[in-house]
Structures are given as structure tokens and as C-alpha cells.
Amino acid sequence: MPDYWGITGYPISHSLTPRLFAAVGEHLGMSGVQQIFLEADGIDEFESRVAGLEGDIWLSCTAPLKHAPQDRLGVKGPEGVNAVNQLMRIAGEWSGTSTDGLGFVTACRHIGVEPSGTVLKMRGGGSAARAIAAAWAAEGGLIISEEGRRTLVGGPWDSAIIEAGEAAIGIDLDAAPSGGESMHLDAEMQVSISYGDGASIGEFAVIMVAAQHLEAWKGIFAPERAAELPSLSLLLERISGAP
């Protein structure tokens, strides 16, 4: 059990992550962990703030901190993704992973969209786009990549890329954080992973952040307790009643 858990990046005031940590921790009977919001707009500020915290730390991280930890903290992201959104410091040693893609796939299944054989139209090429592309391709899905601020580079998803087709689901990963508006994409359904203050548990972005949080517990925070974790539906229900 860590001494601290929470969120880091900028902006983070709207983040549900501390509530998610509290809800999962309570479900597992964990108490006494201090919640933290480490607002940092760069790796220098992050390192300065985290240096004042003694003990073990579990963190979800968002922009602009998804790439910098790899070099400065010696943390390696998954192949092709080359970024992290979960960080853990145990006995002074950092580790991390990316759960964006796994969370997206789980959230899609939660709303009735099965990736296998399904076309995803995706705008953007940043860390979340690469993570989603990797996970979608691994589940047998197909991807139409639309160029946004960045181009989706080559990676483990290359064989899943198609030039055209009927997209069942679309996502604009260049939408601004904290509930920013998405560009319309030609797909049967369009979802967003950007949410702001007061977002409901029915919003795809909230479903995904809860799903990727559970993946972080399974992957690095407490894999030995994976079988005890709450279901996604239960976790969403728990945070809907949280202050």
C-alpha cells in the first residue's frame, strides 16, 4: 500500500483519478493513503514537487507528462506507444506503463462495441492515439487514421490500418482536455475521451478513465489483487455517489 496516490499533469483540477483511487482502495479495504493533486506543466516542476513527498507513490499522469518520465525517471512505455500514463515509485524506484489503449477497448465493450473486425476512425497521432491503435489492432480491429496535429506513425498496428471503410466508431484525440469540443468524424458513433467538471458516469470519457484506472491496478499497482478489484460497472456506480 502506498503513502500517496493521485494525479499529476496540467490541467488536473477536474480529474476523477483521486476519487477512483479512493473508491478502489475502499473496496479493497485500504485506508490511510493520502490523496494528492500534483499540478505540473513539465517534468522539472513534477520532479521538484514529488521530491518533497517521502514514501511510496502511485500516480496517474496526463499531458504534458506522458513522455518525459521515460528519460528522466528511466521508465519505459509499451512498444510503439513510447509513453506512460501510470507511474509508481516504490522504495525510490520508478516504474510505469500505459493503460490508455486497454481502457479504451474495455470502455468500447462496456457500451456494446466489440473491436474484432470493427472499423475505428481515429484523428490524431499522440500518445493516446498510439496506445489506442495498439490495443485496437491487438483485438483484431481495423483503423482509419485521420491526420490531426500529429500523424499516426508506424507501429504494431500497421497491419490494422485501412484507407477507407464504414467506421462504426470515431474519436478525435486532438480534442482539448477538460471537455474540449471534438471535430466531427464520419462514423456511426462518435465518442470522446475528454471530460470536464461535473461529467456523468454515462459519458464515454468517464467510462474510459475508470476502465484504464482498473487496468493500472491490474498491471502495476496491485496485480496480486486483480481478482478482488471491483467491476467497471461497480466502480462507476461508486464514483457517481462520491463527493
**Mean pLDDT value across residues 159-179:** 87
Q: What is the 3-state secondary structure (H, E, C) of 138-162?
A: HCCCEEEEECCCCCCCCCCCHHHEC
Please identify every residue annotated as catalytic. 66
User: Which ranges of 111-218 does DSSP label H, i.e. alpha helix?
Assistant: 127-138, 204-216
* Residue 180 confidence (pLDDT): 60
* Residue 182 confidence (pLDDT): 77
Whether 129 shows a pLDDT value over 80: the answer reads: yes
- Domain locations along the chain: 4-99+203-240, 101-191
Reported pTM: 0.90
pLDDT band at residue 70 using 50, 70 and 90 as cut-offs: low
The pLDDT tens digits of the residues spanning 171-217 come to 998 877 655 677 889 999 999 888 877 778 899 999 999 999 999 99
Of all residues in the chain, what percent carry a pLDDT higher than 70? 96
- Given a contact cutoff of 8 angstroms between Cβ atoms, the answer to whether 38 and 52 are in contact is no
pLDDT band at residue 100 using 50, 70 and 90 as cut-offs: very high
- Given a contact cutoff of 8 angstroms between Cβ atoms, the answer to whether 88 and 106 are in contact is no
Q: CB neighbours of 229 closer than 8 A, spacing ≥ 6?
A: 24, 27, 28, 214, 217, 218
Q: Give the helix/strand (H/E) hosting 68.
A: helix 68-72
**Mean pLDDT value across residues 85-105:** 94
pLDDT band at residue 243 using 50, 70 and 90 as cut-offs: very low
Q: Give the helix/strand (H/E) hosting 97.
A: strand 93-97
Residue-averaged pLDDT of the chain: 90
Of all residues in the chain, what percent carry a pLDDT higher than 90? 64
* Residue 62 confidence (pLDDT): 83
| Closest-CA residue to 28 (of 1, 58, 60, 55) | 1
- Which CATH number does the domain 4-99+203-240 belong to among 3.30.429.10, 3.40.50.10860, 1.10.150.120, 1.10.357.10? 3.40.50.10860
pLDDT band at residue 241 using 50, 70 and 90 as cut-offs: low
Q: CB neighbours of 155 closer than 8 A, spacing ≥ 6?
A: 79, 80, 81, 130, 133, 134
* Residue 197 confidence (pLDDT): 76
Whether 76 shows a pLDDT value over 90: the answer reads: no
What Å distances lie between residue 64 and 112, 140, 161, CA to CA? 31, 30, 27
CA–CA distance, 58 with 63 (Å, rounded to integer): 17
